[in-house]
Structure 1
């Protein structure tokens, strides 16, 4: 049985010439009549152009948003861990909040109201007289208002024996209302009273009172006006 060999000869130049021939004389107004290869080439070019424009005008913004969200992920995880810890400890946090509110209420009760300031000043004066001290100066100053309370400074100068002055300071600190002593200066007498055994103490007593609802509203209005004026 004889075998006949099949010889196939492929001319590359002829093939390229055939391909080039399909691209010659194309009518841009009639793409439907183009040969197969120009149609495929036009389709591929259009697909590449559409994908490129889609990436520039659509996917680029989406990718930027995706990168931004990925950057937020560690922060959100940390925030989640913190809130999870708070949720686990919520009963204890509520208990602490209740204790703080109770403590604040107790402190507010130690602040005199506007009508009680005169009685408090009288209590301070009586505390000094009760220890046998002589008041050389007892002068309330200008009230200074803060956000939710007002501070009233009182300039004091008393004279008496050392232990009586110390007892007076202790009595002031033990008043039912909050009174603090600042800038204490105790000096020995001079001149004819040098041997009397008495000392002179100068100090500034500060007492505090809470502001009522109307005063708090006035404070907020004043703060808002000041802020508006600062912006201008």
Structure 2
């Protein structure tokens, strides 16, 4: 349900943090209807770290409390211009990559609402 989404977002944040990744963004996208009963809830996600950290993050996403799939996965070297020495910032380790993907979860479409409103309409008509 929609009530479970904040917990899912927290679990994705935790998967990044537990693998010492930098979470660049986690942005909800427009929900998509897979069929009449299922809706896909996609999120754009971007994390930065070593290849091993990224692999562990993908593994951990597979173990969250909801079904989450990763698609449109892209792994690219971190932009060198963001890795220039700066005396105010600690140096970033070499061999860092940015993983961008679409993380999707699924929910059942609430089909009870139209039936419930039709039933309440019939009940009020019968009461008159």
TM-score (norm 2): 0.73
How many angstroms apart in 2 are the aligned matches of 1:115 and 1:177? 12
Runs of at least 4 residues off by over 4 Å: none
- Which deviations, in whole Å up to 9, do the C-alpha atoms of 1:70-124 show, x marking residues without a partner? xxxxxxxxxxxxxxxxxxxxxxxxxxxxxxxxxxxxxxxxxxx221112112111
Count of residues in correspondence between the two structures: 105
Within 5 Å, which residues of 2 pair with 1:112-131? 113-131=1-19
1:210 aligned onto 2:99: no
The residue number in structure 2 matching 1:175 is 64
* 1:163 matched to 2:61: no
Alignment of 1:74-223 (within 5 A): 113-145=1-33, 146-192=35-81, 193=83, 196-214=94-112, 217=114
Shift of 1:209: 1.1
Q: 1:114 to 1:189 in 2, by over 3 A?
A: closer
Task: State how far apart, in whole Å, the 1-side matches of 2:109 and 2:9 are.
Answer: 18
Structure index of larger Rg:
1
C-alpha deviation, 1:196, in angstroms? 2.3
**Which structure features the higher share of strand residues?**
2
Structure richer in helix, relative to its length = 1
Local SS of the residue matching 1:183: strand
Q: CA RMSD in A?
A: 1.9
Q: Greater RCO between the two (CA within 8 Å, min separation 6)?
A: 2
Structure 1 distance, partners of 2:110, 2:99, is: 34
Q: TM-score, normalised by structure 1?
A: 0.42
Give unpaired runs (5+ residues) of structure 1: 1-112, 219-232
**8 Å Cα contact 2:70/2:101 also seen in 1:** yes
